[in-house]
Amino acid sequence: MRFPRNVRIIRGQFDVAAFVGVLFLLVIFLLLQSAFVFTPGIPIKLPQTVDLPGTTNLTVTVAVDAQGQLYFENQLATESSFKARLSAAVARAREPLTLVVQADRAVTHEILVKVGVLARDAGVRDALLAVRQNPVPAPTGPQR
């Protein structure tokens, strides 16, 4: 039996409409999927900066939302409970702890100072403010 050698798989023009339809549906599904994902936690808008050094010490984190509420160890904390729990964390640690404050942009300076005083009273020596790094660094000056 002989097979013809001039047989082509695709005859005529390539129909793109089906592929465009599938691609369009794929884009819609990807866009909708990102809207349905629930991100647990507290919505905090960190201030942005270019590049700051971090720390090599052990860290504990406290979050302060826009209303000034403190969240320590993923739980809402009053000032007294925050100080007590932070003192317990400092006592359990074998080396000095650094407090990382994740404060919303809307938090006042007064609340940040109050968190710093509570941390100092609990025995924390160093505290850092958490920032979000800019995806594109700011220009440094005229380029030549």
Q: What pLDDT does 117 receive?
A: 94
In a domain, 23, yes or no: no
In a domain, 124, yes or no: yes
Residue type, 33: Q
In a domain, 22, yes or no: no
Q: What pLDDT does 71 receive?
A: 93
pTM, 2 dp:
0.64
Tell me which residue of 70, 66, 73 sits closest to 116, measured CA to CA: 70
In a domain, 40, yes or no: no
CB contact set of 122 (below 8 Å; sequence gap of 6+) = 83, 86, 87, 90
- Split at pLDDT 50, 70, 90, the class of 8 is low
Are 115 and 143 within 8 A, CB to CB? no
What's the CATH number where 62 sits? 3.30.420.270
- 33-50 pLDDT per residue, tens: 766 656 677 778 888 877
- 57-106 pLDDT per residue, tens: 888 999 999 898 999 988 899 999 999 999 999 999 888 889 999 999 89
Looking at the structure of the chain, the number of domains it has is 1
Q: List the domain range (segments joined by +) for residue 119.
A: 48-133
- Interior angle at CA 96, CA 92 and CA 102, nearest 5: 95
- 25-34 pLDDT per residue, tens: 999 888 777 6
Look at residue 137 and tell me whether its pLDDT is greater than 90: no
In a domain, 91, yes or no: yes
- 111-124 pLDDT per residue, tens: 999 999 999 999 99
